[in-house]
Chain A
Amino acid sequence: MTLSQLEVGETGIVKEFTDLEMSVKLMEMGCLPGEEVRISRVAPLGDPIAIHVSGYQLSLRKFEASTIVLQ
C-alpha cells in the first residue's frame, strides 16, 4: 500500500520509500519512516495532493506519493 492509494481524510504510517532520490527530499521535509501522514486534500484537477505530516501541510504529486510505502 502506498500513500497515493489513500483517500482524503485517511491516515497511514510511513514504512519505507521506493525511490532513493525522492526519499532524501521527503525525509528532509519531515516525511520519514514511522511518521503518521494524513491526506488533507486533493488539488481541484486531481493532482497534486496535500498531506498533513510532522505538524504541517506538505504538497506533493501523486507520482511522488506513490514512492512512499505505508505500513
Chain B
Amino acid sequence: MKADIRVALVGNPNTGKSTLFNILTGLNQKIGNFPGVTVDKKTGFCQLPDGRTAEIIDLPGTYSVYPKSKDESIVFSVLADKAKGMVPDLIVVILDASNLKRNLLLYTQIADLKIPVVVALNMIDVSEKAGITIDVNLFAQKLGVPVVPISARKIKGIDELKSAITYANKVALQQDTIDVDAIAPQLIAQIREEYKVDNPYFALQLAHQHETLDFLSTQESDRIEELEKEHAFHSQKAQATETIARYNFINDLLYDTVKKPETAHDETVSNKIDKILTHKVFGFAIFFAILLFIFQAIFSWSAYPMELIGDLFAWLQAALSKALPAGPLVSLLVDGILAGLSGVLVFVPQIAILFALLSILEDTGYMSRVTFMMDKVMRKVGLNGKSVVPLIGGFACAVPSIMSTRTIENWKDRMITIMVTPLVACSARLPVYTLLIALVVPNKNVWWVFNLQGLALTAMYLLSIVSAVLVAFVMKFILKARERGYFIMELPVYRMPRWKNVAFTMYDRSKTFVLQAGKVIVAVSIILWVLKSYGPGDKFAQIDKTFSQPQYAKTMTPDSLTKVIASEKLENSYAGVFGHVIEPVIKPLGFDWKIGIALISSFAAREVFVGTMATIYSVEGDADKLQSVQEKMHEAKNPDTGQPVFTLAVAFSLMMFYAFAMQCASTVAVVYRETKNWRWPAAQFAYMTVLAYTASFIVYHLLK
C-alpha cells in the first residue's frame, strides 16, 4: 500500500499508545524490524477523512529522547536519520491526561525538533473522573499545536484526532519551549555550521548521542567529540540543566491550564490493590498461586484441543496412506512431513494459553509489581527485577523472551538474563517430557492427591528454574559490569486487561510460532526422511537382493519379512550410519544410535524429537496400524538383549539432555541478533551442551 503521509506515534510507556495504534490501523498492521536493529517496528495504515492514506509507525514508549535502553534508542534515530527514509511528516505525541507533568517532558523535546506535531490527550475520561480540569483550548494555544482529547480505551475522540492529522500543518508551528541555545551556545553554533543543521536542538542531540547514532561516520563522530572537549561540554550536566529548564516551562504551562483537586493523594483503588498484591506475606503467596494457576491452565485447558488436533492428524495420516498409492513420496508426506507437523501443531493450544495469560499479567500492570517484589532476590543472583519477565516468558518460548530483555538497561544484567533464559523449561520441551514421562512413570496417585506423572513434570520445571538461577549466580562473577545498574521504574496504575489486545497477542504469537517452528520442522522432516530412505553405496540394493532369496520367503511371513528389510535398511541408511558414528559418544548416557538421530535432529528444534521418533519407529510398526509414538517407543526392544529401550534411566537421562542442551536454532539466531557477536551464542551453546552431557551421564548412572 502506498501512503500519502507518514505519521509516528510517540509517548511515554503506559499511555495507551499501542491501544491508539490498534484503533487507528485496525488489523491492517504488520510487525517488522527497524533497519539494522531488531527492535520491533509496528506499522499500519489508516484511512483519513479526506481519502488519503496515512502510514502509522508505532515507536517504542520512552520517557525522553535520551535513550536508556536499546528500545528507546530507536525513537531519536527514526526521527533524525534522513537516510533511513523513515522521518515522519507528522508526529502524534500521546500524553496521559491524568499524569501530564511527566508526560510533557517528552513532548517539549519532540516539539523542539521542529517536526509538525499533533497532541493526543489520552485517558481524558480517567483524568476527568479524578477531578482534573484541563483548559484544552488554552493548552493548545500555549503550545501552538492542535490538541485532541481522546480516550483510546473507550474509542472516543478518534474521528477528531484523524481530522487533526488530516488538516495538520506541513510546517512545524509549535512554540519554542525552552531556550535550547543557552544550554551550550558555542558548541551548538559550531555543530550547526559544520553539519549544516538548522535546528539547534537537533545539533544538541548530535552532541549528546553521536556515539550511538549510526548515520554518523567515525570521522564525524570523532569531530563532534573534539568539539565537545573544546567547549568543555559535559553531557550529563547539560541534560540536567535542560531537564530542569523543561520542567520550569511545564510547571508554568500547567499552572495556567490545569486545575487539580486539593486532595491529591487519597486512597486510590490501585493503592488498595497494591496493599494486597505487594504485601509482605500475601504478595509472594499470590504470585506463586498465579504461577501455579498458569501451569494448571496450560495443562488442563489445553488437554481437549490437543487431543482433537492429535486425532485429526492421525485420521489424516491414515486416510492419506489408504487413499494414495504406496511409494516414496506418500511416505515422505505421511511419515515425514505430517508426523512432524502434528508434533508442532499439537501444542499450539498450550502456547496460546500461556501467551494469553502472560499478556493479561503484563496488561493489568501486575508484571511490574512482580519485578518490584523480586528485584532484591534477583539482584543476589546477578539478575535484575526486570529479568523476571523474560524468565517467566521462558516457560513459553525463549525467543520472544530474549527479545523482551531489551527493557533491561544494564548491560551485564541483560547479558546474564539472555544467557540463562534458554534453560527455563520452554513449551517445546513439554511434548518431550510428557512423552517420556508417560512412557516410564506410572500414572498413579501418591498421598491421594499427587499424580506421579504430574510430580515428575513439576520436578522438571523446578529443575529448570533452579539451574537458571545457579548459572546466573556463576556468571555474576565471570562477567564484568560495564556501567552502574539502576532500577528506576514506573509502577503503572492497575487496569483491566484490554481483551482485544490479549486476543491479538495470543493470535500473533501462536502464528509466529507455527510459522517459525513449522518451517524448521518441515525442513528437518524432509532431510531426515531422505537420510533415512537412502544409504551410501549399493547397500540398499544388496539388502533387497539378500532378502529376495527364496529361503527367506519360505521361513518368514511376508509381513515380518518387510519389517526385517525395513529395519536393515534404516540401519544402513545415511541416518543409520550417522547414528552409529555418534553412538560411542552418547552410549555413556544410555542412548542408542536411533536416539542419537533424534538427538541430532533436535538441535534444530526440540519439538522435532516427537516427530523424529515417530519417523524412525514408524518403520518397525505394522504398516496398516498407525500406532501412537508412545506405543511404538514402548514396544521398542534392544535387538541384542531383547530388553525395552526406554527404561527409567534412559528416559530420565534423555529428559536431562533436553532440559539443558541448547537445541533450538531460533534461539541461537535470536541471541546472535540481540548481542551482535557470535561469541555469546557460541559460549551459550558450549556451556549448555556440557551441562546437558554431565547431567544425563549422572542421572543415567544413578538410575541404571
Binding site for B on A (CB under 8 A): 20-30, 32-33, 38, 40-41, 43-48, 50, 52, 54-61, 64
Contacts and interface: CB of A to CB of B under 8 A. Distances in A.
Contacts of A38: 265
Interface string B470-507: 00000000000000101111111100000000000000
Contact of B265 (A23, A41, A52): A52
B243 A57 contact: no
Of B101, B275, B283, B284, most A-chain CB atoms within 10 Å: B101
B247 A32 contact: yes
B533 interface: no
A32 B243 contact: yes
Contacts, number: 113
Contact of A45 (B236, B240, B377, B492): B377
Nearest to B271: A40
28 contacts: A20-B237, A22-B486, A24-B66, A24-B236, A24-B239, A24-B240, A27-B243, A27-B244, A27-B247, A28-B63, A29-B490, A30-B101, A32-B247, A33-B244, A40-B274, A43-B376, A44-B283, A46-B376, A48-B376, A50-B274, A50-B372, A55-B100, A55-B102, A55-B264, A57-B493, A58-B489, A60-B487, A60-B489
A16 to B, nearest CB: 11
A23 B240 CA distance: 7
Interface of B: 63-64, 66, 68, 98-102, 105, 236-237, 239-240, 243-244, 247, 264-265, 270-271, 274-275, 278-281, 283-284, 368, 372-373, 375-377, 385, 484, 486-493
B467 to A, nearest CB: 23
Of A21, A25, A52, A58, chain B has the most CB atoms within 10 Å of the CB of A25
B375 A56 contact: no
Nearest to B96: A56
B487 A44 contact: no
Given A32-B244, A64-B486, 18 more contacts: A24-B240, A24-B243, A27-B247, A28-B63, A28-B66, A30-B102, A40-B274, A41-B275, A43-B375, A44-B281, A45-B376, A45-B377, A47-B375, A48-B375, A54-B101, A59-B488, A60-B488, A60-B489
Contact of A28 (B100, B243, B271): B243
Contacts of A26: 488
Contacts of A58: 488-491
Given A44-B280, A45-B376, A48-B385, A59 B240 contact: no
B372 A56 contact: no
B382 to A, nearest CB: 15
Nearest to A30: B102
Contacts of A30: 101-102, 105, 247
Nearest to A21: B236
A43 B372 CA distance: 7
B22 to A, nearest CB: 24
Given A25-B68, A40-B271, A52-B265, A61 B375 contact: yes
A57 B236 contact: no
Contacts of B492: 56-57
B37 to A, nearest CB: 22
B486 A25 contact: yes
A28 B237 CA distance: 13
B490 A41 contact: no
Closest 8 CB pairs of A and B: A30-B102, A57-B491, A45-B376, A27-B243, A44-B280, A44-B283, A28-B64, A24-B239
A64 B265 CA distance: 23
Contact of A48 (B102, B270, B283, B487): B487
Counting chain B CB atoms within 10 Å of each CB, the highest count among A38, A46, A54 belongs to A54
Contacts of A28: 63-64, 66, 105, 243
Given A20-B240, A32-B243, A59-B489, A54 B375 contact: no
Nearest to A60: B488
A32 B631 CA distance: 68
Contact of A64 (B105, B372, B377, B488): B488
B469 to A, nearest CB: 16
A55 B376 CA distance: 26
A6 B688 CA distance: 46
Nearest to B485: A61
Contact of B99 (A25, A41, A56): A56
B239 to A, nearest CB: 5
A21 B484 contact: yes
Contacts of B275: 41
A54 B372 contact: no
Contacts of A41: 274-275, 278
Contact of A44 (B102, B278, B491): B278
Between A29, A43, A61, the greatest number of chain B beta carbons within 10 A of the residue's beta carbon is seen for A43
A4 B6 CA distance: 46
B488 A29 contact: yes
Contacts of A24: 66, 236, 239-240, 243
A43 B287 CA distance: 13
B29 to A, nearest CB: 29
A48 B372 CA distance: 7
Contacts of B372: 43, 48, 50, 59
B99 A47 contact: no
Contacts of A60: 486-489
A48 B377 CA distance: 11
Nearest to A25: B488
Contacts of B373: 43-45
A32 B241 CA distance: 11
Contacts of B98: 55
A60 B280 CA distance: 18
A44 B279 contact: yes
A30 B275 CA distance: 24
A61 to B, nearest CB: 5
A61 B239 CA distance: 22
Nearest to A27: B243
A38 B489 CA distance: 16
A10 B661 CA distance: 51
A47 B376 contact: yes
Nearest to B103: A30
Contacts of A50: 274, 278, 372, 491
Contacts of B488: 22, 25-26, 29, 58-60, 64
B486 A61 contact: yes
A57 B368 CA distance: 11
Contact of A54 (B102, B487, B491): B102
